[in-house]
Amino acid sequence: MAHGAGGKASRKLVEGLFAPLLFGSDPGPLGDAAHVHINGNPVAITTDSFVVKPLAFPGGSIGELAVNGTVNDLAVSGARAEALVVTFVLEAGLPTPVLEAEVRALAKAARDAGVRIAGGDTKVVEHGKADQMYVTTTGIGRVLRGVTIDPRSTRVGDKILLSGPIGDHGITILLARGELDLEADLRSDTRSVLSLVETLIHAAGPGVRWMRDPTRGGAATSLNELARDCGLGMVLFEDQIPVRDMVRGACELLGLDPLHIANEGQFLAVVSPEYADAAINALNLAPGGSEAQVIGEVREQPVGTVLVTTRYGGSRIVDMLVGDPLPRIC
Amino acid sequence: MCLAIPGKIVEISGDNSESALVDVAGVRRKIDLGLLQDDKPVPGDWVLIHVGFAMSKISERDALDQMNTLRALGEIDGAMQEVQGYGLEEIDIDDVEMDDAEPDDVEVNDAEVN
Amino acid sequence: MKFVDEFRQPELISRTAEEIRRLAGSQRHYRLMEVCGGHTHAIYRFGLKDILPENIELIHGPGCPVCVLPMGRIDDGLSIAQQPDVIFAAFGDMMRVPGTQGSPLEHKARGMDVRIVYSPSDALKLARLNPEKHVMFFAIGFETTAPSTALTLMRAKAEGIHNFSVFCNHVTIIPAIRAILDSPDMRLDAFIGPGHVSTVIGCRPYEWIAKDQDKPIVVSGFEPLDMLQSIVMLLRQLKAREAKVENQYKRVVPWEGNRAALRAMAEVFQLRPYFEWRGLGFISQSALRLNDKYAAWDAEQRFAVPGIRVTDPKAAQCGEVLKGVLKPHQCKLFGRECTPEHPIGALMVSSEGSCAAYHNYEHRKAAMASSLTSIA
């Protein structure tokens, strides 16, 4: 079960089992989308599955996640989504209104994101499987000019940017499950980040080394992957990481770290120092980008590691998650 | 063993006022007041919450006292340094250590040797 | 966040750290033990070691209720839950702790009904909502948590809820501190006392540490300023050759403790004659079980429990690390056979166990060439 949570166990599964068998002998660092050439034209393709529970929650539902998640994976790989195909695996007995609501949500999200739903497939499995509904979307897009995403191009001195507050989605889901009896006026942050990414590329394209949407496993997992892929250290400044008060309150109450919590409407970017100011200014002026911040910088040490520092000189290492974040009482 | 967080009582409920709705930075939860039956809190009070139970009331006054003590740490130090300039090394103020008179730094105490 | 942010102010933290450096000087080496796992976690989370002088050594004590729970007890609890129509409810802290057949989460993946609860009252609520099932709450924790379990059982009894039981692993802190102090290779100067346990038991139970053992103890809060102020207070005592109990956490800890909480515990629990602590061995009168009035809610009495004793591999040096004789990375298994993903010993099992905390937050920092001074 830990293998799907996005952290260390997932990585082992992908790198240990899938990659050697499926991706050939030297695929390079694994990104959010693959760029291939069709008749010489660069095309990006990616796929993602959505198994969220509950299906609907404040701020969205599985339908929106399914669209935005794939649009975002393409965006942070430096591509604009053109079309998606959708697969539904439905549990027998799923009430029609529930299904209809999700299809509507999917359609609306696609319209909002400016992407076409080009087709799909549906399968029904027996009652007790599929947790009501699993959705998979596969997206294809046009590779954007003006940017080349490669974690290995990261250099000491590069700045780490975050598009907005972290933790909204994961905490919303945790609360929506109802097991912890907590209430808060929180919503999932699910949205397409494509226009913000395009803003970034326009303002700072040549300086953009890497982007990622920190979904399951949170910002810590994404940055740990980058640190490992480029062999450098990611140093974050704790008081510059944007977190909403309520997310912070929930995390303090449950003993969780916002850096480990899933996001569905944010992205991280590493930008060279010459372009960092232009990047942040452009993002802050763009719709939905007002909370974008520089949250850290790339250093030589600690190698392959994410370090969070405080203004008084304390620091701690933040590792990749092992399985889902679990509330604690100790 | 010890994750406990301050929260503000928003409203009291239950037959014997044994539960309350508490607010932690905008996150709300119903908590049990059974451990504070001898000193029942009222809305507006702050309590320490652990596993959904209020453990203790938080004293704002003690918190302020503590803050003042902490702030004074550096200040007393600064004041002492000024005074030292007048050659008054043996000033007797509670809880203040003198840089120049710390015998423990050079003494070897057999009882402490491991 | 009120009562939190004030105690994390960077300027005040820096100033208090300076006062500590001034007090500590450079000649003497100070060995301070923080008893509570929550303090261990706070030290790493706030990076306090980075701002303390080299001659102050923080030694992590045994106050981690997950770490000191023998594997056999996890097996016992899980075996009860294997029965049909039993729901296994526990805090998140327990979910990844391995028994010999796997952790609760692993059992869940294999079909057991395992639920994470934030409060024992949530477990009782599960029992109310699922009358055709039995809910077994796997209770852990020191005196901070035991009163909440006790009150929950009192409520279960008052409401006549019988599809609910508690598998009780509550332990008490004083015997653990005594075991540390009694051990011949112990080398400690003073204690940072457990702040939240003390909201229940008060400060009196520590008086013997000061009077009989001649060691200062300061009952401390958990924010960075709390812990640093406690260290200031300890250093002052040590330099003045004093040994007394002080309460740094006054805003929350009453000197006499919480009478209502102690009454609830007395109503429901009795002391076990002895209990095994992983890494420390058998300690007498150190753990709680449900008394006869609550036998009907005692999982160990309602269900047959295998009572298997599982010993740790000899190579695991948890006991020495617990007593401060060894540092985590000095154990031969640390970071190799024993990691947070594959914990072998007690102290790697919970995120506040000293080996896990050190592994997660600290030990790669040792490899850093550059120093960590203030950034922003």
Across the interface, of B5, B26, B28, the residue whose CB is closest to A245 is B26
Report d(CA A192, CA A265) in Å as an integer: 6
What pLDDT, on the 0 to 100 scale, is given for residue C348? Answer: 86
CA atoms within 13 A on the CB side of A138: 9
Would you place residue B77 in the very low, low, confident or very high pLDDT band (cuts 50, 70, 90)? low
CATH number at residue A67: 3.30.1330.10
DSSP 8-state class, residue C99: B
Tell me the backbone φ, ψ of residue A238, rounded to 5 degrees: -55, -45
C190: left (phi over 0), alpha (psi -120 to 50) or beta: beta
Tokens 């250290």 locate to: A233
- The answer to whether the CB atoms of A330 and C117 lie below 8 A apart is no
What pLDDT, on the 0 to 100 scale, is given for residue C160? Answer: 97
pLDDT at B103 over 50: no
DSSP 8-state class, residue C171: B
For A37, other C-beta atoms within 10 Å of its C-beta total 9
The H-or-E segment that residue C326 falls in is none
Full DSSP string of C225-251:
HHHHHHHHHHHHHHHTT---EEES-TT
Domain boundary residue among A122, A143, A164? A143
Residue of B nearest to C248 (CA): B66
Residue A175 belongs to some domain of the structure: yes
Q: Beta partners for B30?
A: B21
pLDDT at C374 over 50: no
Chain A residues whose C-beta sits inside 8 Å of any chain B C-beta: 180-185, 245-246, 248-250, 252-253, 255, 328-330
- Identify all chain C residues contacting A179, using CB atoms and an 8 Å cutoff: 115-118, 122
pLDDT in tens, A239-253: 999 999 999 999 999
Judge contact between B3 and B49, C-beta under 8 A. no
* Residue B15, min C-alpha distance to chain A (Å): 20
What pLDDT, on the 0 to 100 scale, is given for residue A5? Answer: 65
- The answer to whether the CB atoms of C2 and B73 lie below 8 A apart is no
A168 and A283 in a single domain? The answer is yes
CATH (residue range C5-63+174-247): 3.40.50.11750
Report d(CA B29, CA B111) in Å as an integer: 52
Across the interface, of B8, B52, B71, the residue whose CB is closest to C118 is B52
Q: Helices then strands (H, E): number in chain C?
A: 15, 13
Report d(CA C204, CA C193) in Å as an integer: 12
Report d(CA C91, CA B53) in Å as an integer: 14
- The answer to whether the CB atoms of B58 and C3 lie below 8 A apart is yes
- The answer to whether the CB atoms of A8 and C341 lie below 8 A apart is yes
CATH number of C71-172+257-302: 3.90.550.10, 3.90.1150.10, 3.30.230.10, 3.40.50.11740?
3.40.50.11740
- Identify all chain A residues contacting C64, using CB atoms and an 8 Å cutoff: 330
Do C5-63+174-247 and C71-172+257-302 fold alike per CATH? yes
**A-contacting chains (≥3 CB pairs under 8 Å):** B, C
Closest CA to A240 of A276, A195, A194, A285: A276
**Count of domains for chain A:** 2
Full DSSP string of chain B:
----EEEEEEEEESTTS-EEEEEETTEEEEEE-GGGTTS---TT-EEEEETTEEEEE--HHHHHHHHHHHHHHHHHHHHHHHHHTTT-TT---TT---TT--GGGT---GGG--
Instruction: Provide CB contacts within 8 A for C331, sequence distance 6+.
Output: C316, C317, C318, C320, C321, C338, C345, C355
Residue A12 belongs to some domain of the structure: no
Sign of CA dihedral A10, A11, A16, A17: positive
Closest CA to C245 of C291, C278, C213, C293: C213
Mean pLDDT across B11-35: 94
A173 and A104 in a single domain? The answer is no
Residue of C nearest to A297 (CA): C375
Encoded tokens for B66: 């503590």
Q: Does C358 touch chain A (CB under 8 A)?
A: no
Mean pLDDT across B29-41: 96
- The answer to whether the CB atoms of C121 and B102 lie below 8 A apart is no
Across the interface, of B5, B29, B49, the residue whose CB is closest to A181 is B29
Report d(CA C338, CA C48) in Å as an integer: 25
Encoded tokens for B38: 């001898």
Judge contact between C283 and C275, C-beta under 8 A. yes
CATH topology of domain B5-58: SH3 type barrels. (2.30.30)
Residue with more model confidence, C231 or C356: C231
**B-contacting chains (≥3 CB pairs under 8 Å):** A, C
What pLDDT, on the 0 to 100 scale, is given for residue A218? Answer: 97
* Residue A171, min C-alpha distance to chain B (Å): 11
Least-confidence region, from A15-29, A293-307, C332-346: A15-29
Cis peptide before A302 (omega within 30 of 0): yes
A214 and A285 in a single domain? The answer is yes
CATH number at residue A168: 3.90.650.10
Residue of A nearest to B50 (CA): A329
Q: What is Dmax (Cα atoms) for chain A? A: 58
- Identify all chain A residues contacting C149, using CB atoms and an 8 Å cutoff: none
DSSP 8-state class, residue C101: T
For C100, other C-beta atoms within 10 Å of its C-beta total 11
Cα-Cα end-to-end distance for chain A? 24
Task: Quote the ipTM score.
Answer: 0.94
What pLDDT, on the 0 to 100 scale, is given for residue C366? Answer: 65
Q: What is the pTM of this model?
A: 0.91
Least-confidence region, from A309-323, C17-31, C75-89: A309-323
Pairing between strand A56-57 and A60-61? antiparallel
A127 and A164 in a single domain? The answer is no
Cα-Cα end-to-end distance for chain C? 22
Mean pLDDT across B29-38: 96
Would you place residue C341 in the very low, low, confident or very high pLDDT band (cuts 50, 70, 90)? confident
A198 and A302 in a single domain? The answer is yes
What pLDDT, on the 0 to 100 scale, is given for residue C217? Answer: 98
Report d(CA A19, CA A15) in Å as an integer: 5
What pLDDT, on the 0 to 100 scale, is given for residue B108? Answer: 38
Mean pLDDT across A129-147: 92
- Identify all chain B residues contacting C10, using CB atoms and an 8 Å cutoff: none
C-alpha C296: how far from chain center: 28
- The answer to whether the CB atoms of B106 and C27 lie below 8 A apart is yes
Residue of A nearest to B6 (CA): A253
Would you place residue A321 in the very low, low, confident or very high pLDDT band (cuts 50, 70, 90)? confident
Residue A22 belongs to some domain of the structure: no
Pairing between strand B46-50 and B5-13? antiparallel
pLDDT at B86 over 80: no
Can you give the residue ranges of every domain in chain C? 5-63+174-247, 71-172+257-302
Residue of B nearest to C190 (CA): B112
Structural domain range at position A312: 151-317
Pairing between strand C245-247 and C217-220? parallel
Report d(CA B73, CA B65) in Å as an integer: 13
Across the interface, of C120, C121, C258, the residue whose CB is closest to B56 is C258
Residue of C nearest to B8 (CA): C2
B107: left (phi over 0), alpha (psi -120 to 50) or beta: beta
Domain boundary residue among A115, A143, A171? A143
For B94, other C-beta atoms within 10 Å of its C-beta total 5
What pLDDT, on the 0 to 100 scale, is given for residue C367? Answer: 60
pLDDT at C195 over 90: yes
Q: Does C14 touch chain A (CB under 8 A)?
A: yes
Mean pLDDT across C242-259: 98
- The answer to whether the CB atoms of C236 and B95 lie below 8 A apart is yes
Across the interface, of A185, A249, A329, the residue whose CB is closest to B24 is A249
| Mutation site for A-interface testing, chosen from B8, B27, B53 by largest number of A Cβ within 10 Å | B27
Pairing between strand A293-299 and A208-212? unpaired
Burial readout C242-280 (b: 16 or more C-beta within 10 A, e: otherwise): ebebbbbbbbbbbeebbebbbbbbeebbeebeebbbbbb
- Identify all chain C residues contacting A235, using CB atoms and an 8 Å cutoff: 375
**Across the A/B interface, how many CB contacts are shorter than 8 Å?**
43
Instruction: Provide CB contacts within 8 A for A99, sequence distance 6+.
Output: A88, A90, A133
pLDDT in tens, A157-214: 999 999 999 999 999 999 999 989 999 999 999 999 999 999 999 999 999 999 999 9
The H-or-E segment that residue A137 falls in is strand A133-143
